[in-house]
Amino acid sequence: MSLVTFQDLPMADREREWDGDAANERFRKWAGADDEPNDKYRKAFVWYEAVEKDLFKSYKLQIADVIDGSLQAVPRGVMAAGNVMYLRRT
């Protein structure tokens, strides 16, 4: 497991709904990651499996979406990722 390097993403409006599947489609297109993940695609996640970084399934804890042409952290996405981590420790 590898953590994605910290980035100071702008924060989306806290009332923005979170739909991880739809967000993934948008930032996959935005990142130009049609066939396989790339460095730009990686920015929307908290961690990934470095040994299989060329597979989309290796990317976990998605927290960002493309909004008005830029990648932004979505508060509800961040909370969803946090909930996954919390549930894994219990």
The pLDDT value recorded for residue 90 is 59
Q: Where are the alpha helices (DSSP H) in 1-90?
A: 20-31, 39-42, 75-89
> pLDDT class for 56, splitting at 50, 70, 90?
very high
Residue 48, token pair as written in the block: 């990934």
pLDDT tens readout for residues 29-49: 999 999 999 999 999 999 999
Residue 87, token pair as written in the block: 């549930």
Strand, coil or helix: 58: helix
